[in-house]
Amino acid sequence: MATDAPPPAKAEPHLPTTEEFVAVQESDEFGELRRSHRSFAFPLTVGFIVWYLLYVLLSNYAGDFMGTKLFGNINVAFVLGIAQFVTTFLIAWWYSRHAAAQLDPKADAIKSRMEGGA
């Protein structure tokens, strides 16, 4: 015989206070998480921007070089343009691996403690 009783209520997670957020933000553990992210993301971002600007500058000011045919109708500009897409996807893949291995475990530990009220 079925009853119309509502399902048991889930326990609500602990809602951290402002002071708890500030304490975590000032903790060494959070500082390490931030350093780990920045030491990976910032150099790659700068490197990719330089690579992109190099491509743009070569396209604008080195037309003869960029128009150099490599084989058939494929020239340097086309190869470097395709390389832009390839490096974008490689960086995204590399970052996702880095985040899964280095950032997510640290962030999950902090989150668990915050939601657990510890």
Range in 13-22, 27-36, 58-67, 79-88 the model is least confident about: 13-22
What mean pLDDT is predicted for residues 78-102? 96
Q: What DSSP assignment string belongs to 18-68?
A: HHHHHHHHTSHHHHHHHHHHHHHHHHHHHHHHHHHHHHHHHHHH-HHHHT-
Question: Tokens 């086309």 map to which residue?
Answer: 78
With bands split at pLDDT 50, 70 and 90, how would you rate the model's confidence at 115? confident
Position 118 pLDDT exceeds 70: no
The whole-model pTM stands at 0.75
